[in-house]
Amino acid sequence: MSSEDRRLQMLERIMREHGYDKSALLEILHMAHELYGYFDKNLLNYISSRLNLPPSHVYGVASFYNLFKFRRPGEHVISACMGTACYVKGVEEIVSAIEREFNIKRGGSSPDGRISLFITRCIGACAMAPNITIDGEVIGRATKEAVLERIRKVLGGGVVEAR
C-alpha cells in the first residue's frame, strides 16, 4: 500500500470515528493536517464531501488558523507525538536525533525537501508511547535506533543533501 493510500485510510477512519459529524470539522482538520503536513484543494474538497459541508466553509475554517500550512511539505512526512505519555516516554530524544541526523528542524523540511518533521498532539495511542508516524504509518514504542533506521529506509538509503 502506498503512503498516500495509508494516509487516506487513516483519515477515513478518523472521520468514521467522528461519525462524519460536521461539528467535528476542526478536530478532523487537525488530524488531516497531522497526517499530510499541509492542506491542498483536493484534500479539503475530500473532507467537505465526506462531511457534507460546502468546500468554502471547510476552506474558511482551515485558513482561519495560521498553524495550518497550505504549502506542500517534504516528500516524506514524519510526525512525532508530543502528548504527555509520549513525552514522558522520551519522544524528545527521538525528535532531537531526527533533527541531527537529517539536518532538519521540527516544523520544517530538510534542505533538499525530501522529509518534513512535525510535532503533533496526542494521537490516541498512549499505550504504545512513544509514537512516531512516518508517512501515515505509526511506529509504537518507538526507539531512536528503530526510527532512524526506518527513515533511512524510506529515503532509500539516500543522503539528505543541502540544496
Rounded least distance, CB 83 to ligand FES, Å: 2
126 in contact with ligand FES (CB under 6 A): yes
Q: How far apart are CA 159 and CA 69, in angstroms?
A: 26
Beta strands in 8-97 (DSSP E): 76-81
Q: Among candidates 7, 42, 44, which has minimal Cα distance to 29?
A: 44
123 in contact with ligand FES (CB under 6 A): yes
114: cell is 525530501
88: cell is 514522558
Rounded least distance, CB 18 to ligand FES, Å: 18
CB burial of 54-81 (b: ≥16 within 10 Å; e: otherwise) equals eeeebbebbeeeeeeeeeebbbbbbbbb
Rounded least distance, CB 130 to ligand FES, Å: 7
Binder of ligand FES out of 77, 129, 132, 154 (CB under 6 A): 129
85 in contact with ligand FES (CB under 6 A): yes
Rounded least distance, CB 92 to ligand FES, Å: 12
Sequence-separated (6 or more) residues with CB below 8 Å from residue 76: 3, 114, 115, 116, 134, 135, 151, 154, 155
Q: Of the ranges 34-42, 64-72, 79-87, 107-115, which one interacts with ligand FES (CB under 6 A)? A: 79-87
34 in contact with ligand FES (CB under 6 A): no
Binder of ligand FES out of 56, 63, 84, 96 (CB under 6 A): 84
Q: Which is nearer to ligand FES, 74 or 130 (CB)?
A: 130
86 in contact with ligand FES (CB under 6 A): yes
Q: Which residues form the interface with ligand FES (CB under 6 A)?
A: 81, 83-86, 122-126, 129, 131
